[in-house]
Amino acid sequence: MTTTPVEADWDNAPSVLEGARTLELSPQDCNLPYWLRHVAGTMLRRLSDGSVPDAGPTEAVRTPGPLRDAIIDEFTFRHLAEEKATRALSFAVFHSPETDDLEFFATQLIDEARHARAFREHLLRLDLSAAEIEAAVAHTAATSAAAVLDPLEEFGLQVLRDQGDFHGGVLVLTVLVEGVLAPAAELSERKWRPLDPSAALVERGANMDEIRHLAVGSSVVRRYLTEHSEQRPRLLDLVMEGRRLWEKLPMQEVLFRRESLFQEGLAQHAGLIGDYEIWPGRRLVDTSIEERMEAAERWSRETQETRLEYMLLSDAPR
């Protein structure tokens, strides 16, 4: 009988906010046997054998309207982000200095490919046909993903693929990609729960993986900087360059549009949501577009700061 580590335990894993800030895991902890046993063997099995209850999407997201548009916008964007992460990770696998790194990043690559599929497949449960999903993905790819994800991908690939810089690439993936997207995913999990419990479940499953990715990615950078302190200025520059890039990306506009659709749907389906609280003491129906965006922004700033501190890069100028 093997005991499931807390981060791979459906019933006890911390939220992405808590876990992404506090959990300590290394590639040695999360190697291939770990993944086969605890992720494929327990986490994923429980998701497919029905022991994690899935109430399915409500009528509110299955009928055409602003809520359905909001989730299509969000899940096609996530699908594309996860696919890009999968492709970029092939270079992290290629440039892995040690076997444990190679094994861990190979599992992360599979995790992200699974997420890409889960986000896309969820749209089938909202009664979209395969052709409609394809069209929606193409639309997002040409609009919000082209504006936000393409420049980020290019930045990551310059470091990982073109320069073959493994540690720089892990830093970019951990701080600038996962560190920013994970807190947004936490918001998503919370806001969809009463409207589309199975969308929240897709997010939850992905988020449990992201906690591991964030924790291991930051331990890789920490260890590297502990052994090679002369590399700190170079990695600090990379964080700064990445932040300058983020500032130029229209992520806030993308989020504003998405949250505006959600807000419209919120007003239409207030009765269904009732007193459900998005965080303690705050009913989802009472929240505004700006309030939800500010929460996600604050969570990602805090997650980034905690992780940078752990990686010995806390003095990265903003």
Contacts with Fe ion, residue ranges (CB under 5 A) = 82, 112, 115, 210, 213
Q: Which two tokens stand for residue 244?
A: 């300058």
Please identify, using beta-carbon distances, which residue of 101 and 112 lies nearer to Fe ion.
112
Please identify, using beta-carbon distances, which residue of 119 and 262 lies nearer to Fe ion.
119
Cβ 257 to Fe ion shortest distance, Å:
22
Please identify, using beta-carbon distances, which residue of 7 and 112 lies nearer to Fe ion.
112
Cβ 112 to Fe ion shortest distance, Å:
5
Cβ 63 to Fe ion shortest distance, Å:
29
The residue count for the chain: 318
Please identify, using beta-carbon distances, which residue of 67 and 214 lies nearer to Fe ion.
214
Q: Which two tokens stand for residue 66?
A: 């602003």
Please identify, using beta-carbon distances, which residue of 182 and 235 lies nearer to Fe ion.
182
* Measured distance CA(84)–CA(113) in Å, rounded: 9
266 neighbors 285 (Cβ within 8 angstroms): yes
Q: Please name which of 183, 184, 201 lies closest in space to residue 192, comparing C-alpha atoms.
A: 201
Cβ 210 to Fe ion shortest distance, Å:
5
Cβ 111 to Fe ion shortest distance, Å:
6
Please identify, using beta-carbon distances, which residue of 82 and 203 lies nearer to Fe ion.
82
Number of C-beta neighbours around residue 26 at 10 A = 17
**Contact residues for 133 (Cβ-Cβ < 8 A; gap 6+):** 76, 120, 123, 124
* Measured distance CA(203)–CA(206) in Å, rounded: 5
Q: Which two tokens stand for residue 11?
A: 């019933």
274 SS3 class: coil
Kind plus residue range of the DSSP H or E element containing 282: strand 282-283
Partners of residue 204 on adjacent β-strands: none
Please identify, using beta-carbon distances, which residue of 73 and 111 lies nearer to Fe ion.
111
Q: Which two tokens stand for residue 153?
A: 């991908």
Q: Which two tokens stand for residue 63?
A: 């009928």
* Measured distance CA(77)–CA(152) in Å, rounded: 14
Cβ 133 to Fe ion shortest distance, Å:
19
**Contact residues for 190 (Cβ-Cβ < 8 A; gap 6+):** 200, 278, 279, 284
Cβ 37 to Fe ion shortest distance, Å:
19
